[in-house]
Structure 1
Amino acid sequence: MIVSCVLMYFFISHSAVSGMDGLQNYMIKVDPQDGDSPITFNVDPKALFPQFEQEIQETKESFLLRSVIATTIIILLSSVCTYFLTKKALTPLQKLTSEVSQIQAQNLSTQLPVPNSKDEIAQLTSSFNEMLTRLDNAFSTQKQFSANAAHELRTPLAVLQTNLEVFEKKQKPEMIEYRQLFTMIKEQTARLSQLVGTLLDMTNLKSVPRTDQVSLEELVDEVFCDLDPIAEKAGISIHFNDSSNQDLHTDVTGSYVLLYRAVYNLVENAIKYNRPHGSVSVSVKQENGQAMVLVTDTGIGISPENQKKIFDPFFRVDKSRSRAMGGAGLGLALVDSIAKEHRGTVKVLESSSAGSTIVLMLPVDNS
């Protein structure tokens, strides 16, 4: 603002002084009445008015002085007004800064008061409150996840510690007791290894490249080849309902490793929690720009209140059965995370006492 006033002062002063200097010479043009050519001649004002030049000089000096005084007054008044206006305008921002500085990890649920001004500060406060809500939800989820993970890790460690302490008190343990101890240690360490591996997979999802061109039909075929021995051992029949044209494939862009793990977990889960001599069928189809992998089993079904919870980490509908099968409640949670990383979703499509259908939906690669 000061620079603008100074530049304006120099511009106006220069224009006024140049105009005054132009008064020193006049050219007069006379048009005769009889139609002859116009007559022009120069007139020097100083010749007519001897004091004219001095008056011009005094007027220029007076004008420059008044211009300096006026410019200085304008700068001072504008600076004072700007100071108070800026201070008043920044007061809500300073208040917001003070309130934000008091937010800690322990009080993320605190909501800042939104002013009624409906200006940018109000919009900023509302946006900050929304961010606090998201952070609070994320922290709460992370705390719950950490607590559940600690509990799941502590259970096999407690079993190991208890059995070792009991075995230590035996004076002359027999060979069969050694074998039982080794079997127990092997089972619990395998459970720990599986749990730690799954936790690491869930934390490293974002670092895995997702640029592969994946044919879902070929991926399901590979999953069936790997799970066929497990299904046969459990007495479960598995079927791939590939009704599509053999020359056409449903392709998606993503990580083959992660998508394989997602489909593998869905089919394995359907095998584990199935009825004796039940069946699992998988089909792939494309609809409304979405590729869908549908996994249908003949299990006992999932209650409506649990159909969303089964994708939460460490959630198990039947905890005793899950523990007996070595599950930690992370299989479907990992599927949900993989789906989200591929801009997709996974959900229970339908469920009843005759069985359930879970669908994994992914955006189709149209290239």
Structure 2
Amino acid sequence: MKENHTIKNPLKKRSLQWRLTLLITLLVTVTCILMYFFISNSAVTGMENLESYIVQINKTDSTPITFNVDPSILFPDLSNQVQATKDLFRIRSMIATGIIILLSSIGTYFISRRALTPLHDLSTKIGKIQAQNLSESLEIPDSNDEISQLTASFNKMLSRLDDAFTAQKQFSASAAHELRTPLAVMQTNLEVFARKKTPSIEEYQEIFSLIQEQTGRLSHLAEILLDMTGIQTVERSETISLAELTEEVFCDLASVAEQKQIELIQRDGDCTVTGSYLLLYRAVYNLVENAIKYNHPSGKVTVTLHPGKVILDASSQPHPADCAFIEISDTGIGISPEYQEKIFAPFFRVDKSRSRAMGGAGLGLALVTEIARQHGGQVKVLESNEKGSTIALMLPL
């Protein structure tokens, strides 16, 4: 059995200050050594040329007279002096090089320490942040450098995390409340039923019917919660004809519409988008089902498909985009202006008693919103009044 040995970089265990110091020291050392050899060789070569040179005497209007002079004859100790000078030069150069490297290393250590102080302070402040104080932003330095940019980016991330934590807390609290309600109803009725000594057949049937209804609500709620948590992992690469998808939704909801005497109308037109057929089917299904539920008897639900341009908010950068519009219009009671954005929040109901009576969990439109977001689109109420509402699901083409 072979063992995998990974070669670890010893620098990674050091602090950033030490790493900068070591790297710059290495750079200075290499530079000083190269300069030492270059200057030393140049100086030594110049000294050696002193041992042999030519003296030329120029006389006016005459041929130049040249003498070859041997310096050792004129200066018997010149060779020894040159050698001693070369040796002394080399020693002094090496000492100067060592001093320069040492001073550069010490200077780099303290300068890098000073330069990294804002980063150290930022790290200390970040270490004090907990889930309870995500809303507290860090003070941005006035330096307008990389540290200030990093602090600003971190504050934006904190804001997004705070919003996500707040939404998660609200969602968890609402989910717990929705789960607790049917459990409390069953527990209360079972306690009352247990006190009866000789319950009748009708009372048995009544309690069984209530338990069946409440467990159905729990099952439906759990199913939607699982759907919402699994949306991110679904593959979204299919080519989808929205006309065919809408036709399938109408076929599946035909019996529901027939019970309420609602007419389903699909206008001519089609758009093709890329995404998950399963998720987009669920989104359109929820919108059409809501239009049927909250409609008047003998009303109509109309689906219109057409391309258009809309401002989409992708990664906090709104931009115009070509989109497929899926408009679901009904002839129902309408939605008040103050509720037209809130209806897409999890567990929100305009009329709680009516929604629960219809078996709603308050998550249908929230699921549509999440599906639209995962496809880079959005959903919104286009218009609503006492004659009905039009909700549009917009998906990038």
**TM-score, scaled relative to structure 2:** 0.84
Gaps of 5+ in 2: 1-24, 310-321
Residue in structure 2 matched with residue 331 of structure 1 by the alignment: 364
Residue in structure 2 matched with residue 187 of structure 1 by the alignment: 213
The letter for the 1-side match of 2:266 is: F
Could you tell me which of 113, 130, 136 is aligned with 1:110? 136
Aligned mates of 1:237, 1:300 — CA distance in 2: 16
Aligned mates of 2:69, 2:284 — CA distance in 1: 103
Residue in structure 1 matched with residue 258 of structure 2 by the alignment: 232
2:329 is the counterpart of 1:308: no
Residue in structure 1 matched with residue 87 of structure 2 by the alignment: 61
Shift of 1:103: 0.6
Residue in structure 2 matched with residue 14 of structure 1 by the alignment: 41
- For the structure 1 residues 197 and 30, does the alpha-carbon distance in structure 2 shift closer, same or farther, using more than 3 Å as the test? farther
State percent identity of aligned pairs. 61
Aligned mates of 2:151, 2:85 — CA distance in 1: 58
Gaps of 5+ in 1: none
The letter for the 2-side match of 1:329 is: G
Residue in structure 2 matched with residue 274 of structure 1 by the alignment: 295
Which structure 2 residues correspond to residues 254-269 of structure 1 after superposition, within 5 A?
254-269=275-290
* Deviations 1:102-139 (CA, angstroms, capped at 9, x unpaired): 11111111211112222211111111111111111100
Shift of 1:303: 1.4
- For the structure 1 residues 51 and 356, does the alpha-carbon distance in structure 2 shift closer, same or farther, using more than 3 Å as the test? same
Shift of 1:274: 1.0
Aligned mates of 1:259, 1:335 — CA distance in 2: 8
The letter for the 2-side match of 1:13 is: S
2:347 is the counterpart of 1:347: no
Aligned mates of 1:41, 1:223 — CA distance in 2: 113
- For the structure 1 residues 26 and 269, does the alpha-carbon distance in structure 2 shift closer, same or farther, using more than 3 Å as the test? same
**Relative to structure 2, which stretch is displaced further, 313-322 or 174-183?**
174-183
Residue in structure 2 matched with residue 176 of structure 1 by the alignment: 202
Could you tell me which of 314, 329, 332 is aligned with 1:296? 329
Residue in structure 2 matched with residue 139 of structure 1 by the alignment: 165
2:191 is the counterpart of 1:165: yes
CA RMSD of aligned residues (A): 2.4
**TM-score, scaled relative to structure 1:** 0.91
**Relative to structure 2, which stretch is displaced further, 136-145 or 38-47?**
38-47
Shift of 1:84: 2.4
Residue in structure 2 matched with residue 359 of structure 1 by the alignment: 392
Aligned mates of 2:68, 2:237 — CA distance in 1: 87
Shift of 1:33: 11
Aligned mates of 1:138, 1:314 — CA distance in 2: 17
Shift of 1:304: 1.5
Shift of 1:26: 4.4
Aligned mates of 1:50, 1:43 — CA distance in 2: 13
Residue in structure 1 matched with residue 272 of structure 2 by the alignment: 251
Which structure 2 residues correspond to residues 6-45 of structure 1 after superposition, within 5 A?
6-26=33-53, 44-45=70-71
* Number of equivalent positions: 358
The letter for the 1-side match of 2:156 is: E
